[in-house]
Structure 1
C-alpha cells in the first residue's frame, strides 16, 4: 500500500521549514518552530479555563474544557504528544476541544514537564499526580469520578498507558477507560525493525523518522536501564491484568504502528477488553488535522466514538470483547 497523493502532499507541507530532528537538533529551536502561533482552531465549548495541580516538583499547569455548563459529565485526562520534548497546552488545544465537544466529556489537559530539562520519570510522575488531582477534585470540575478516562497521543499515549498501571498498583484513582493514540510503548525496542518492522518500513518520509525517534529517546532517557522501566515502556510491565478497557489507535505509515498493535494484543491476552483501530493512509501525528485530511477525520471519529461508547452501560460493565478493525 502507498500513501494517497493527498496525504503525501500534506506530509510534505508539514515538513516544509521545520528543522531536521537529528543528532544536531536543539530542543529550543524545535519548540520555536512548533510554536502554536498559527494553531488550528478547534470547536467552541462552554468553558475553557487554566488550572494547576500540585505535583512532585511544583505546580502542574492544566487546562479544563467543559462541553456544557453546570452539568456533570464523564471526564478525560489528556496527555499531549511531542516525544516528551515538545508540546504544551496550546499545541493540543484543538484536539482537546474536539474531544470535549464531540464526545460530550470534560477534558483536562496536562502540561507535564519536558525533557531534556526534566528527563524520565518526570513526565509519568506529573501525569499520575495530575490524574489523582482530577479524580480528587472531580465534583468541582463537573466530572463523574466513576467515569474518568485517560487519553493521549504518541508520548502522551505512553503516559495514558502508564497511569492505569500506576493506579492499579497504588490503590487508585479509578480509571474507567484508556485511549491510546499511536502510543510509544517500548523505549527498549530498538529502531532497526527486528522487533517492530514498522520502525524500519516507516522510518523515513512519513513525518516521524527513525532519526527523530532516536533523538527524542536520548533527550528523555538518561540511563539505559530506564528504557526497560514500565513507566517508560509499558509493554514491559510485569503484568497487564486488571487494567481498564482500551482503545489502541494506530496508523498505516507510522513507525510506531507495530509496537502499538503489539501492546493491544498484550492487553487482550491479559484479559483487558481492547479495541484496535488502524487508520489506512494515516501517519504519526495525524490526530487533529481532520478539517484538512480525510484519514485524520477517521482518526478523530474513532477516538471520539470510543470515548462515547466507553461510558455506556455495556462498556462500564466490562462486556466489550477484544476486537480489531481497520478504518479505510
Structure 2
C-alpha cells in the first residue's frame, strides 16, 4: 500500500489545486518547484562551509556549490560526491536540492559539489550531459585544492540527475578515463522509450505522471531519434561492465521503478557491483520531502551510509 505520508501529500495537492507541471511553462514550473520546497523539505542543516562559484564549461559557465560537512577540519582531504539534481532536465537548481546535499555531506562525511547544469528547452540534449561531464572532470582535476581526495570521488543524482550520473560513469569508462569511485542513482531515468510495465501501471495519480514525463522529454529530447542514444537512455548502452559500484534506489509507486531495477540488474549481470533498494510504499521525488514524508529521512541516511562505506580509505 502507498505510505500514508505520501497519500496525505497527494491528497493535499489535489485539495489545494496545485497545477501539474505539464500545465506550466518551464519558467513557471521552475519557480513553482523552487517556491514549494519549503513546505516539503526539512530545515537546511548547518555545514562547515558552503561556497558558490562558476567554472568554464564547453558551452558557457556552469554554477557549482561546494558543501563541506559539519565538523570537518580545514585542509583535511575528504571523500567527495559530485551531485546532479533531479527535475526532468527542465526544472531544479542548486537551491532546490541544497537541503538534500547538505544532509548527504553531513551524514556521509564527504564534500558534496552540486552542479547547476543547463536545462531544456533552452539547452536541449546533450547539453546537460556535456555540463555534467565537464563539472565532474573539473572537480576531479581540482580535487586537492577543494579538499577532496580524487581517488574517493563519487557521482550521484536523483531522477534526471541519476540518469546523468549513470551517463558520466559510462562516458568516462568509454573514454578510458578514471571512473568515479561510486555511483548513487536515486530513482534514475534510464530508458527514454518509457516502455516498462510500471509506466503503464503507475502513470497516473502518483505525482510523476505520463503527461509530466512527456513534458520533460519533449523539452529535453525534442527529437525522438535521440531517445535511444545511450547518453539519454543508459539502459540501452550495450556494455555495462567495468563500471563503479552502484546503489540504485527506487520507489514502489514510481513510473520509473522498473527501469531503475532493470539498470541495477543489468549492472550485476555485466559484472559491475550494484545494490538495489526499493521503498515499496513511496512515490517519485520523495527523498527530498523529509518534512512531510518520514521515510525520506531514512532514505537519505541509507544513501549517506552507502557513500561513507564505499568511500572509506
Q: How does 1:24-43 map to 2 (within 5 A)?
A: 24-36=23-35, 39=38, 40=41, 41-43=43-45
Report SS of the residue matched to 2:140.
helix
In the alignment, which residue of structure 2 is the partner of 1:78?
A: 83
For 1:247 and 1:14, locate their aligned partners in 2 and report how far apart those are by CA, in whole Å. Answer: 31
TM-score between the two structures when normalised by the length of structure 1: 0.90
In the alignment, which residue of structure 2 is the partner of 1:272?
A: 272
In the alignment, which residue of structure 1 is the partner of 2:226?
A: 226
For 1:56 and 1:14, locate their aligned partners in 2 and report how far apart those are by CA, in whole Å. Answer: 40
**CA displacement at 1:254 relative to structure 2:** 0.5
For 1:262 and 1:174, locate their aligned partners in 2 and report how far apart those are by CA, in whole Å. Answer: 22
CA contact (8 A) 2:80 2:152 kept: yes
Unaligned ranges ≥5, structure 1: 191-195, 314-328
In the alignment, which residue of structure 2 is the partner of 1:19?
A: 19
For 2:45 and 2:150, locate their aligned partners in 1 and report how far apart those are by CA, in whole Å. Answer: 25
1:101 alignment partner, one of 106, 111, 125 = 106
In the alignment, which residue of structure 2 is the partner of 1:4?
A: 3
Change (3 A) 1:38 1:249: closer
More deviation in 67-76 or 4-13? 4-13
In the alignment, which residue of structure 1 is the partner of 2:65?
A: 63
For 2:154 and 2:162, locate their aligned partners in 1 and report how far apart those are by CA, in whole Å. Answer: 12
**CA displacement at 1:259 relative to structure 2:** 0.3
CA contact (8 A) 1:18 1:33 kept: no
For 1:270 and 1:285, locate their aligned partners in 2 and report how far apart those are by CA, in whole Å. Answer: 28
For 2:53 and 2:182, locate their aligned partners in 1 and report how far apart those are by CA, in whole Å. Answer: 23
**CA displacement at 1:52 relative to structure 2:** 1.6
**1:133-177 deviations in whole A, cap 9, x for unaligned?**
000000011100000000100000000100011111123243100
**CA displacement at 1:302 relative to structure 2:** 1.9
Unaligned ranges ≥5, structure 2: none
**1:240-277 deviations in whole A, cap 9, x for unaligned?**
11110000000010010000000000000110110000
TM-score between the two structures when normalised by the length of structure 2: 0.94
Report SS of the residue matched to 1:34.
helix
Higher helix share: 2
**CA displacement at 1:236 relative to structure 2:** 0.6
**CA displacement at 1:93 relative to structure 2:** 0.3
